[in-house]
Amino acid sequence: MTFSRIEKAVTRLQAVWLVHAERITGPRRDAGMETLEKLILGAVVLGVAVTFGTVFKSTSTSLMNRFTAAVGL
């Protein structure tokens, strides 16, 4: 049995569609959003740290020294 060019094209289109549908509905569909959420959270944490250091006019070394003393490490 030989396939014509049209049948091959239809088969290829169906395969591509199935792969696309699996990406949309599969278990990894939100993996990209999780990465984006982590990046946003990291930017927020960094912004809060910079703001905290600016408001209290502290350097990271002095903040770490205070934290270490408070925790008792």
pLDDT in tens, 8-22: 888 888 888 888 777
pTM recorded for the entire structure: 0.41
The domain total for the chain is 1
Angle subtended by helix axes 31-55 and 60-71, to nearest 10 = 100
Q: Which residue has the higher pLDDT, 26 or 69?
A: 69
Indicate whether 1 pLDDT > 60. no
Query: Residue 15 corresponds to which amino acid?
Result: A
pLDDT tens sequence across 38-72:
889 889 988 888 888 777 776 777 777 887 888 87
64, 53 contact by CB (below 8 A): no
Q: Which domain holds residue 56?
A: 5-71
Q: What's 43's DSSP letter?
A: H
